Each structure stands twice: as structure tokens, then as C-alpha cells.
Amino acid sequence: MLNMKDISVTFNEGTLDEKKALQNVNLHLEKGDFVTVIGSNGAGKSTLMNMISGSLKPDIGSVSINNKDVTILPEYKRSRYIGRVFQDPMAGTAPTMTIEENLAMAYARNKKRTLKIGVSKKRKATFKNHLETLHLGLENRLNAKVGLLSGGERQALSLLMATFTEPNILLLDEHTAALDPSRAELITNLTGEVVNQFGLTTLMVTHNMQQALDLGNRLIMMDKGQIILEVSGEEKKSLTIEKLLQEFQRIRGQQMDSDRAVLG
Amino acid sequence: MWFISVFGAFEAGIIYALMALGVYLSFRILDFPDLTVDGSFVTGGAVAAISIVNGVPPVLATFYAFVAGFIAGSITGILNTKGKINPLLSGILMMIALYSINIRIMGKSNVALLNEPTIFKQIEGFWGSLGIDTVLNNMVSALGADNLPGTWSVVIIMIIITLVIKFLTDYFLKTEVGLALRATGDNEKMIRSFSANTDILTIIGLGISNALVALSGALIAQYGGFTDIGMGIGMIVIGLASVIIGEALFGTKTIARTTLAVIGGAIVYRIVLVLALKVDFLESSDTKLITAVIVIAALITPKIITARKESVRKKKKRAMLARGEGANNA
């Protein structure tokens, strides 16, 4: 479904601030894969997401979705295939527009926008049904401006908007990080539900190790612009936070040793 | 005496309302402070005037003006989106470029239409045969007005045109493209992640906005009987004044309500201006100063009213608590 080949990108090349954000990254996702991505700040997780969404382009390498090369496709064209939820609950919705209008915009993601009314009667009923699955009572507030909703409600709506048109790929960029623990749990559960319901191919960045272990069938760990660990299937199920940290120490330790060898 | 002044102000106000609707589209819907308006208003007047002088039927000439405005606005949009020039600067550049272009269009700095056919003259000719003017004038004079308007045709036809454009705008902003346009001004990152080409939407949005501004300029030129290179100076401020006054007076609950408010704002602005100029020590050269004062008043008054209401509410609450009642619903 998603294929990233030899992706490298460097920011501010040739200056003191040069940063190799991604180095020879290869990633392949089968249809229905749910991959969680962990790693420290600056590891390249967000850059990886932006490479897929198209808001950044690689220096070298290619990205293809559904066997179609999308490397040079601009973001707005690529988003026909991609649903995305951002970390900031304010980022995924239009605050001065109503809930139904926001859903209508999301509904048009993989269609051509026309001069027909966006919120038709028929669609309203569909939107209502979808909102009911969130169990937040939003189905009774179709005409409320989204800016009036709480952070948790907005993020739940963003999640629904990104998923109900069944995108080929769903990108979740630390989408629970800005919420309080109980809201974060709610969104985490909702995420599991919708991904299962639609069988979405998903990539989720998170700082919460437990979340990375609970969700998904694959896990990758990134560091310094590289994928340093990949776990999947049964192995992932038996993984614990402790093991993960040990593994990280082991790989990082080795890397430091080899660095020392080079420098020594 | 007062009636004829207010009538005239209303007449002009409803023509300027189209310009205000254009400013509303760029300023509020796209969140784009577009200064092209000062230039595109004149472009509208210039294109319409020079076309009419050259024998083009007034309705068609007005349509040409509309198209010219659309092109001017689109170029501002292209400068901003493709050229990555800051919105304010894109508008200013286009405005200054249009100053020269407008003189080119007219061939000199003004064109008179006094002896030429205009939309309003054509309608008046047809209107006069209907005899509605006499009926309306009789009604008004029965109410005590003595100085009566020569024709009602301009007001009536402009109310129809403006309302039709208002309803078209309302409809457009509810279509799929319209929703995406609104989201472009509201949360660009979000709508791009839903496969909308925000560059094209900005270009189209500014095009429509300036098309309405130019349409207004074309009608004002035909209404006043001339086009002058200076007629657009400060137009953006007048547009903003109309939007702000309208929103403050009539509310912004829905799109349909807001577009109506903007039209109302444009009319109220004209009436306030005319009444202000009736004050003895104010002269017509004080117009811009009065405009600034009106806008400042429209911006500050609602805040003062809200603050007042809040403080009254809090006082009531405290008083209630002090009396020992209402502790539960405090």
C-alpha cells in the first residue's frame, strides 16, 4: 500500500545548522498494517510523516502509494489518498465553520468539488450516523461552530473527518499528545475502533510507549533519521516498555561504541 | 429636506454595498487584507465608461468591468500564492500598478458620461412609463416629506441587483467549492489535507471579490455620470467601514445574516456620512476624517457595550450572593 524507498533528506545543507533528517529510510506497509512509530525528539518521525503527506519532498528516494509513484505529487493532490490527524486539536478542523460543514469538506476529500450544496439533506443523515459512533453527543450539535468544542471533542471530530472516507493511508501525528489523560484514552480507543472498522493502513507517531505497544501490529523505532528497530506480529505482542528501552540502549550503545572506534 | 438627503445616501449606499460585499469576501472569508480594491474600483469605472463612450451597450459594458475586476483580483492572488509575496504587499503592488493601467484604459484621468446612455438612464426611461414614481412620491409626501426624489428606479433596481448578488454569494459559500474557500481563510493547513488546492481557491476568491468591487465602480460611474482616476482613493477603508459597521449593528450569526449586515453597513455608512456633513463646521473635505471616526466608533462601541454588560452581570451575581440567595445557581 505504501512504499518508501531509500528516502534521504537534509535540512540546511552546507550550513552550520545542517541536519540529516532522514537517511536511507526504507519502509513498506501492507494493506491493513497499523504501524506505531516511536523515537526521541529530532529522530525524524515528523519528517517521515511529512514525506508521506507531501508537505516535504525528499532529496533522494521515492514514495509510492498503491503502486503509484507520488514522490512529486503536491500535498493537496496526495491528500486524496491520505487522511491525517495532527497533534494540535485546532489544526484539523475549521473553527468558524459548523460541525456539518467541516464534515462536508472532509467528505469531498476524494471527490471533485462542485457547485452543489455541500451539506445536503442526504449527507446530513450520513454525518449524523458517523457522529453517533463517537458517543460524544455531537450528532445533536450539527450546527455548532467547531471553535466552541473542547480540545477532546475537536480531536475526535478530526479523527472522524480523516477516516470516514476510508483513505488508503491514515497518518496520526501524536494526535493524543495535547489532550488530558482521560481524553487521550478516549481518542486512543476511538482510533483502535475506526482503524479496525475500516481496516485502514495506518502510521501513528507517538511519545507514549504504552500506546505504541497497545495499538497496531507493527512498531518501528527511529533515531537520528534512521529506522533502528522494527518489531511485528507475535514479537510485538510480547513486547514491554522495559524490553523496548533495553533494546534502545543496546542499539544506541553499540552505535556509540562504533562511534568511539571511529574517533579513537 | 432630510428625506431627500437620506434617500440619496441610501441610493449611493446600496451601489457601494456591492463593493462592501467584495471586501467582505477578501477580508473576512479569505482573511486576506486586499488593498487591490482602491485600484480595481476605478478599473471597473474606467472599463465601463470607456466601453460606453465607444458605443458598447451599458449592460455589456458593466459586464466587461466585472471581468476586468476579476482579472485584477486574480493577479493579486497569483502574486500572493505563486510569487509567495505577502498578502498586504501583493495588494499594494496591484493597486499601484492599476493606477497607471486605469489611466491607460481611459486615455486620460477622467471620462464623462453625461451625454451617454447608462444602465440607470435606460431603466429610468422604461420606468417612467409605469407611473410608479408618482404613487411612491404621493405616499412619501403624505408622510410629510416635501423635497421629493426625481426617480425611484435607481433605488428599486439596485435593491434587486444587490439582493440577487447577495443570494448568489450566500449560495456559493455553501457549495462544496465555497466551503473549501471559507476553510482556506479559516484553516489553510486543514483544507489542504482534504485535497483542496488552496492556491487556486485564493486566486478565485480574490477574483470574485474584485469583480464585485469593479461592478460597484462601474455602477457608481454610471450613477454619477463620470469616472475619475481618484474615485478609488480610500475605497478599501470605506469597504471595511461598511463590513465593520454592518457586523456590529446586525450580527454575524450565519453567512446569510452577515452578507445582509454588510449591505446594511454600507447604507448606514452613507447615511451617517451625509448627516455628519450637514453639521455646519464640517466640510466635504472632512469626509475621510469622518470615515475614520465612524470606523473607530464601530470598532470600539461593541467592546464597551460588552464590558458594561459583563460588569452589570457580575454585580448582580455578587449582590445575589450577598443577600444569601441563589447560592446554588451562582
The ranges of chain A with pLDDT < 50 are 263-264
- Half-sphere exposure at residue A92, Cβ-oriented, CA atoms within 13 angstroms: 29
* Helix, strand or coil, per DSSP, at residue B243: helix
CA–CA dist B266, B17 (Å, integer):
5
| φ and ψ at residue B86, rounded to 5 degrees | -50, 140
Chain CA centroid to CA A136, Å: 23
A87 neighbourhood in chain B, CB within 8 Å: none
CA distance to partner chain B, nearest, from residue A243 (Å): 36
Contact A113 B177 (CB under 8 A): yes
Specify the range with the lowest mean pLDDT, choosing from A174-183, B293-302, B318-327. B318-327
User: Cβ distance A90 to A157 under 8 Å?
Assistant: no
Residue B1 has a pLDDT of 64
Pick from B191, B193, B247 the residue to mutate for testing the A interface (most A CBs within 10 Å): B193
Domain-located, residue A53: yes
CA–CA dist A86, A172 (Å, integer):
6
Domain-located, residue B37: yes
Residue A106 has a pLDDT of 95
Mean pLDDT of all residues belonging to chain B: 92
CB atoms within 10 A of CB B31: 15
Q: Is A79 on the interface with B (CB under 8 A)?
A: yes
Of A77, A92, A105, the CB nearest to B180: A105
Domain-located, residue B285: no
CA distance to partner chain B, nearest, from residue A207 (Å): 23
A78: amino acid identity, one letter: R
Tens digits of residue pLDDT in B16-50:
999 999 999 999 999 999 999 999 999 999 999 99
Tens digits of residue pLDDT in B100-141:
999 999 999 999 998 999 999 998 888 878 888 888 888 888
Mean pLDDT of B318-327: 77
Domain-located, residue A1: yes
Residue B164 has a pLDDT of 97
Residues ≥6 apart with Cβ < 8 Å to B237: B288, B291, B292, B295
Contact B179 A75 (CB under 8 A): no
Residue A254 has a pLDDT of 64
CA–CA dist B223, B236 (Å, integer):
20
Mean pLDDT of B285-307: 89
Q: Is B297 on the interface with A (CB under 8 A)?
A: no
Q: Is B244 on the interface with A (CB under 8 A)?
A: no
Domain-located, residue B118: yes
Show the domain range for B127: 2-278
- Alpha helices by DSSP H, chain B: 2-24, 37-53, 58-81, 87-106, 119-128, 132-142, 153-172, 176-186, 188-192, 198-224, 235-250, 255-277, 287-322
The residue in chain A having the minimum alpha-carbon distance to the alpha carbon of residue B184 is A94
Q: Is B187 on the interface with A (CB under 8 A)?
A: yes
Show the domain range for A52: 1-28+43-73
> CA-CA distances (angstroms) from residue A30 to A80, A89, A201, B55, B311?
19, 29, 7, 68, 61
Domain-located, residue B325: no
Residue A260 has a pLDDT of 53
User: Cβ distance A202 to A169 under 8 Å?
Assistant: yes
* Helix, strand or coil, per DSSP, at residue B184: helix
Q: Model ipTM?
A: 0.89
Which is nearest to A218 in space by CA: A199, A196, A243, A201?
A: A201
CA–CA dist A230, A221 (Å, integer):
7
Residues ≥6 apart with Cβ < 8 Å to B251: B257, B258, B261
Residue A37 has a pLDDT of 94
CA distance to partner chain B, nearest, from residue A93 (Å): 6
Contact A108 B190 (CB under 8 A): no
A80 neighbourhood in chain B, CB within 8 Å: 195
**What is the DSSP track for A65-125?**
ETTEE-TTS-HHHHTTTEEEE-SSTTTTS-TTSBHHHHHHHHHTTTS---SSBSS-HHHHH
CATH number at residue B253: 1.10.3470
Pick from A46, A50, A76, A98 the residue to mutate for testing the B interface (most B CBs within 10 Å): A76
CA distance to partner chain B, nearest, from residue A36 (Å): 21
Domain-located, residue A58: yes
Contact B195 A119 (CB under 8 A): no
CA–CA dist A196, B63 (Å, integer):
55
Could you tell me which residues are beta bridge partners of residue A221? A38, A229
Contact B175 A106 (CB under 8 A): no
For residue B9, what pLDDT band results from cuts at 50, 70 and 90?
very high
CA distance to partner chain B, nearest, from residue A114 (Å): 6
CATH number at residue A65: 3.40.50.300
Residue B330 has a pLDDT of 44
Domain-located, residue A67: yes
If one counts the domains in chain A, the total is 1
Contact A118 B174 (CB under 8 A): yes
Q: Is A118 on the interface with B (CB under 8 A)?
A: yes
Instruction: Please return the burial class of A57, using the count of CB atoms within 10 Å of its CB with bins 0-12, 13-18 and 19+.
Output: middle
Chain CA centroid to CA B308, Å: 31
Percent of chain B with pLDDT over 90: 74
CA distance to partner chain B, nearest, from residue A75 (Å): 7
User: Cβ distance A194 to A229 under 8 Å?
Assistant: no
If one counts the domains in chain B, the total is 1
- Half-sphere exposure at residue A151, Cβ-oriented, CA atoms within 13 angstroms: 14
Domain-located, residue A36: no
Q: Is A106 on the interface with B (CB under 8 A)?
A: yes
Interface of B with A in 304-323 (CB under 8 A): none
Of A79, A80, A97, the CB nearest to B182: A97
Q: Is B175 on the interface with A (CB under 8 A)?
A: yes
